[in-house]
Structure 1
Amino acid sequence: MAAATLQTQLNRNVRLTHLGALDVMGADAEKFLQGQTSTQVSLANGHFAPLTCFCTPKGRVLANAQLLRLGEEHFRLIMSASLIDMLANHLKKFAAFYRTELVVQSSLTFIGASAEAQSLAETTGVILPEHPSTQYQSHSVTVLRQPGKARWLFSVDNSSPYDELDDNDQARNAWHLEDIRSGIAWITIAQQDHFLPQMLNWEALGGISFKKGCYTGQEVVARAHFRGQVKKRLARIFVTTATPPDIGDTLVDADGKSVGEVVSCAFNEEQNVELLAVVSTKVVEGVSAAFWHDQPATLCSLPYALERLDPEQLAVNLNA
Structure 2
Amino acid sequence: MLKLRCMRVFVPLNIVRYKSTKPAVKVIENLSQRSLLRVSGNETSSFLQGLITNDMRHLQEGAASMYTMFLNTKGRVLYDSILYRTKDTDVFYIECDSRALTALQKHLKMYKVRRKIDIDDLTGQMKIWALFDPNKLKTEATNLNDTKKIKLEGQIFPCNSLKNISGQSASSEVVDNISIYPDPRFIELGFRILTNSATESSDIITRVDQDTVENMAGESRYRAFRYRLGVGEGCDDLPPGKALPLESNCDYLHGVSFHKGCYIGQELTARTHHTGVIRKRLMPITLNAVPPEPLEYDLNIWDTTQKSVGKLKGHEKQYGLGLMRIVEALVAESLQVSSFNAQISKPFWWPQETSKDRVNVVRND
Q: TM-score range by the shorter chain?
A: 0.7 to 0.9
Superposed counterparts of 1:185-224, under 5 Å: 185-188=232-235, 191-224=239-272
CA contact (8 A) 2:33 2:97 kept: yes
- The alpha carbon displacement at 1:188 in A equals 0.9
Q: Does 1:11 align with 2:48?
A: no
Distance 2:107 2:45 in 1: 17
Alpha-carbon spacing, 1:94–1:283, altered in 2? closer, same or farther (3 Å): same
In structure 1, stretches of 5+ residues that fail to align are 1-7, 116-128, 268-272, 309-320
Match of 2:217 among 165, 168, 179: 168
Q: Does 1:72 align with 2:92?
A: no
Distance 1:114 1:16 in 2: 12
CA contact (8 A) 1:177 1:265 kept: yes
Residue in structure 2 matched with residue 119 of structure 1 by the alignment: none
Query: Which has the larger displacement, 152-161 or 252-261?
Result: 252-261
Alpha-carbon spacing, 1:150–1:299, altered in 2? closer, same or farther (3 Å): closer
Residue in structure 1 matched with residue 129 of structure 2 by the alignment: 111
Distance 1:224 1:252 in 2: 25
CA contact (8 A) 2:64 2:181 kept: no
Alpha-carbon spacing, 1:219–1:9, altered in 2? closer, same or farther (3 Å): farther
- The alpha carbon displacement at 1:51 in A equals 0.9
CA contact (8 A) 1:47 1:136 kept: no
In terms of fraction of residues, the more helix-rich structure is: 1
Identity within the alignment, %:
20
Partner of 2:246, secondary structure, is helix
The residue type paired with residue 14 of structure 1 is E
Q: Give deviations 1:70-123, integer Å, cap 9, x for gaps.
A: 1321111112222211111122110123221211211112223357xxxxxxxx
Residue in structure 1 matched with residue 77 of structure 2 by the alignment: 61
Residue in structure 2 matched with residue 87 of structure 1 by the alignment: 104
Q: Structure 1 segments of 4 or more deviating over 6 A?
A: none
- The alpha carbon displacement at 1:292 in A equals 1.4
Alpha-carbon spacing, 1:112–1:226, altered in 2? closer, same or farther (3 Å): same
Give the length in aligned residue pairs: 281
Q: TM-score scaled by structure 2?
A: 0.68
Distance 2:171 2:316 in 1: 25
Residue in structure 2 matched with residue 317 of structure 1 by the alignment: none
Residue in structure 2 matched with residue 248 of structure 1 by the alignment: 297
Superposed counterparts of 1:281-292, under 5 Å: 281-286=326-331, 290-292=335-337
Residue in structure 1 matched with residue 227 of structure 2 by the alignment: 180
Residue in structure 2 matched with residue 33 of structure 1 by the alignment: 48
Match of 2:316 among 258, 266, 273: 266
Query: Which has the larger displacement, 197-206 or 90-99?
Result: 90-99
- The alpha carbon displacement at 1:150 in A equals 7.5
Q: Does 1:157 align with 2:196?
A: yes
Q: Which has the larger radius of gyration?
A: 2
Distance 2:176 2:261 in 1: 33
Distance 2:179 2:44 in 1: 19
Alpha-carbon spacing, 1:12–1:204, altered in 2? closer, same or farther (3 Å): closer
In structure 2, stretches of 5+ residues that fail to align are 1-22, 134-165, 204-213, 354-365
Partner of 1:94, secondary structure, is helix
CA contact (8 A) 2:310 2:329 kept: no
Distance 1:260 1:187 in 2: 20
Query: Which has the larger displacement, 247-256 or 183-192?
Result: 247-256
Alpha-carbon spacing, 1:103–1:260, altered in 2? closer, same or farther (3 Å): farther
The residue type paired with residue 97 of structure 2 is S
Distance 1:150 1:196 in 2: 22
CA contact (8 A) 1:191 1:248 kept: no
Residue in structure 2 matched with residue 298 of structure 1 by the alignment: 343
Query: Which has the larger displacement, 69-78 or 159-168?
Result: 159-168
- The alpha carbon displacement at 1:290 in A equals 4.2
- The alpha carbon displacement at 1:12 in A equals 4.0
Match of 2:168 among 100, 110, 131: 131
Alpha-carbon spacing, 1:10–1:257, altered in 2? closer, same or farther (3 Å): farther
Distance 2:249 2:345 in 1: 15
Residue in structure 2 matched with residue 49 of structure 1 by the alignment: 65
Q: Does 1:141 align with 2:178?
A: yes
CA contact (8 A) 2:180 2:193 kept: yes
